[in-house]
Chain A
């Protein structure tokens, strides 16, 4: 349990320290340092037995998400260090804002790790709300009209969402209280899982609807997704990376915890159809929205919606294969999408524009970056040998074997999105090198010295996962898949 405490406390301390540290270089280094400690602590979890206490729980479900979050938190902090150095150099950010940014970064990591490891519905809700607030602040970091507008939209929509999620949480307690008596027990995951079979299903149903809509807003499910593309597009790119790579997962994790309760209850409505419907809606809508995008970050934000749709669909289908696929897809999407955002952030700095029609030929002008971006998009598009292929393989085959009619919209959606991804990635990565006024490297005002290590580290992991999964991970996935019903 102490390991979890370290994991959660480190970023909290980090936030406090970084709020006081002047100088962006030191701040960035400390940021990396705190993230490293968090990651190391989370790796310790692998050696420990699953455990649960009043405050924290570590089980097969969240252990890999905690490690994943810590890992992406670290790589993003590395990316962020090189990213902000350039932003400082071109004068888009200043020292004061960066101090705030680093503090918020750690605070954000804290809220997410807390949400993942909390054993209490209320604590989790508070953590998710905190995550919303910190990211709202970071999205508006540039203080441009567009970024404030995006932050405002994000804030209002997710504020309402989070309010509905709170109502769902209260309802959940209301449902459990008659069975489990008043007090903390009725708000504790592990206790609830033990007693949920006796809970009356009627309030449970109601609670789930509110939780699905509430946390679903944060997952970015259609038609609740409107905040997501703008928030991704207008904030600093490292934040886009963690939003897509981590925050969406955390919100989905919350939904899935409740789905587990419903599955264990047995009498409640099947949450599957609701999730399938919202998943498909997200997939199809996002797939179509990809076609008309001009802003590269917004484009990949829609791709995140698409993938969240696929994952939600997978959990909606249920069953060992689809659930396994969903869990794998969560991890793969998280790694891949953050890798893509690293590459995109770099490309945007190199070319000086976020408009896709002004970026081209990256594989020629910046081979390492261009091929990295290409590999990322190839991975997210579900092409082998990357991990997303495995999850989509499992999902499509198992769905078609069970519900052929549901597999068709799924496949259509994936293909529609695929078409858009190919269209754009070819344009970004191939052809004559473009950039600011098509000049390429010569007009670059400030040379960009970004690190591509995080990008390739993520890609390497996704590649390995595409052909080989470690045994313990498989075992965890299978345990959770069974629990998810």
Chain B
């Protein structure tokens, strides 16, 4: 593999990771959506680059899917939900932003520690790719648990997915990537549909998950 291919892939992956940090940093919903769009764009670029450099045309489909769904449709849909449902525009953090950042950095460190022993016969690309995608996944999870707002949780969930796709496109010859990313997108769609559905039914006043769970099973 050429140095250029390696460097470009590395750089694009790093951008995705950077965007994950940026997501953690946001306090306002709209800017969160914007950052997410940028992450999706970076991911699209990665997928397209890998398709080109490895000569695997099916990755173009992945890139396209990412672009259409993640960079366009979903941000727009979420934007409309926020507006239509009059969701509070600021994000309530369950964990302070500073602490979140510290946790994020620790997670990245952990990822690197985990990847370090992977030397034996893995190529450098796999290693970098692995560290980056692992970090993105963990940061996405952190995002989900450190925010109270439902929209930001959806965003966190999707950023986990971005990490997955980053990993999948980075490894040579991964079959079924498209199928799996489609299957995953169905799930995301479900979530968004669910939010709509619940709102339409007016079973819950707000999408704050604490309130959704007022019933909690056996609290009688």
Binding site for B on A (CB under 8 A): 120, 122-123, 125-126, 129-130, 132-133, 136, 143, 145-146, 148-150, 152-153, 155-156, 159-160, 162-164, 166-167, 170-171, 173-174, 177-179, 181-184, 186-187, 200, 202-203, 206, 229-230, 233, 293-295, 298
Task: Tell me if B198 is interfacial: C-beta within 8 Å of chain A.
Answer: yes
Residues of A within 8 A of B190 (CB): 133, 136, 155
Write 21 A-B pairs (CB below 8 A) sorted by A numbering: A122-B180, A126-B180, A129-B184, A152-B194, A153-B213, A155-B191, A155-B194, A163-B161, A166-B180, A173-B171, A177-B171, A177-B172, A179-B121, A200-B120, A200-B122, A202-B118, A206-B134, A229-B217, A233-B217, A294-B220, A298-B218
Q: Secondary structure at chain B's binding surface: helix, strand, loop or mixed?
A: helix
Q: Mark B60-76, 1 if CB is under 8 A from A, else 0.
A: 00000000000000000
Residues of A within 8 A of B133 (CB): 167, 170
Instruction: Give Cα distance in the complex from A171 to B129, angstroms.
Output: 11
Query: Least Cβ distance of B39 to chain A in Å?
Result: 16
Indicate which residue in B114, B160, B176 contacts A163 across the interface (CB closer than 8 Å). B160
Given A170-B171, A179-B121, A146-B187 contact (CB < 8 Å): no
Given A122-B175, A200-B122, A171-B180 contact (CB < 8 Å): no
Residues of B within 8 A of A164 (CB): 137, 160
6 closest residue pairs by CB, A with B: A182-B173, A122-B176, A200-B120, A202-B117, A202-B118, A174-B171
Residues of B within 8 A of A162 (CB): 187
Given A149-B213, A159-B187, A183-B173 contact (CB < 8 Å): yes
B218 near A187 with CB under 8 A, answer: no
Binds A, one of B12-20, B45-53, B92-100, B162-170: B162-170
Query: Least Cβ distance of A398 to chain B in Å?
Result: 34
Residues of B within 8 A of A155 (CB): 190-191, 194
Count residues on chain B whose CB falls below 8 Å from chain A CBs: 48
Task: Tell me if B157 is interfacial: C-beta within 8 Å of chain A.
Answer: yes
B121 near A298 with CB under 8 A, answer: no
Instruction: Give Cα distance in the complex from A173 to B194, angstroms.
Output: 32
Interface residues of B in 99-139 (CB under 8 A from A): 114, 117-123, 126, 130, 133-134, 137
Interface residues of B in 163-207 (CB under 8 A from A): 163-164, 167-168, 171-176, 179-180, 183-184, 186-187, 190-191, 194, 198, 201, 203
Query: Least Cβ distance of B116 to chain A in Å?
Result: 9
From A210, which residue of chain B is reached at the shortest CB distance?
A: B137
Task: Tell me if B87 is interfacial: C-beta within 8 Å of chain A.
Answer: no
Residues of B within 8 A of A206 (CB): 114, 130, 134
Instruction: Give Cα distance in the complex from A263 to B133, angstroms.
Output: 26
A174 near B130 with CB under 8 A, answer: yes
From A136, which residue of chain B is reached at the shortest CB distance?
A: B190
Instruction: Give Cα distance in the complex from A28 to B160, angstroms.
Output: 40
A295 near B217 with CB under 8 A, answer: yes
Residues of B within 8 A of A170 (CB): 133, 164, 167-168, 171, 174
Indicate which residue in B126, B167, B180, B215 contacts A125 across the interface (CB closer than 8 Å). B180
Instruction: Give Cα distance in the complex from A120 to B180, angstroms.
Output: 12
Binding site for A on B (CB under 8 A): 114, 117-123, 126, 130, 133-134, 137, 141, 144, 153, 157, 160-161, 163-164, 167-168, 171-176, 179-180, 183-184, 186-187, 190-191, 194, 198, 201, 203, 212-213, 215-218, 220
A129 near B118 with CB under 8 A, answer: no
Given A125-B180, A130-B183, A133-B187, A294-B173 contact (CB < 8 Å): no
Residues of B within 8 A of A120 (CB): 176
A160 near B130 with CB under 8 A, answer: no
Instruction: Give Cα distance in the complex from A371 to B183, angstroms.
Output: 45
B203 near A163 with CB under 8 A, answer: no
B186 near A133 with CB under 8 A, answer: yes
Query: Least Cβ distance of A185 to chain B in Å?
Result: 9
A167 near B163 with CB under 8 A, answer: yes
Residues of A within 8 A of B186 (CB): 133
Instruction: Give Cα distance in the complex from A294 to B218, angstroms.
Output: 7
Residues of B within 8 A of A145 (CB): 203, 215
Instruction: Give Cα distance in the complex from A255 to B147, angstroms.
Output: 30
Instruction: Give Cα distance in the complex from A448 to B175, angstroms.
Output: 52
Indicate which residue in A167, A173, A178, A293 contacts B123 across the interface (CB closer than 8 Å). A178
From A137, which residue of chain B is reached at the shortest CB distance?
A: B190
B176 near A187 with CB under 8 A, answer: yes
From A143, which residue of chain B is reached at the shortest CB distance?
A: B201
Indicate which residue in B118, B167, B191, B212 contacts A200 across the interface (CB closer than 8 Å). B118
Residues of B within 8 A of A177 (CB): 126, 171-174
Residues of A within 8 A of B123 (CB): 178
From A292, which residue of chain B is reached at the shortest CB distance?
A: B218
B184 near A166 with CB under 8 A, answer: yes
Indicate which residue in A152, A163, A233 contacts B184 across the interface (CB closer than 8 Å). A163
B183 near A149 with CB under 8 A, answer: no
A203 near B213 with CB under 8 A, answer: no
From A355, which residue of chain B is reached at the shortest CB distance?
A: B220
Residues of A within 8 A of B161 (CB): 163
Query: Least Cβ distance of B215 to chain A in Å?
Result: 5
Query: Least Cβ distance of B133 to chain A in Å?
Result: 8
B126 near A178 with CB under 8 A, answer: yes
Residues of B within 8 A of A156 (CB): 153, 191
Query: Least Cβ distance of A240 to chain B in Å?
Result: 14
From B136, which residue of chain A is reached at the shortest CB distance?
A: A167
Indicate which residue in A125, A152, A203 contacts B118 across the interface (CB closer than 8 Å). A203
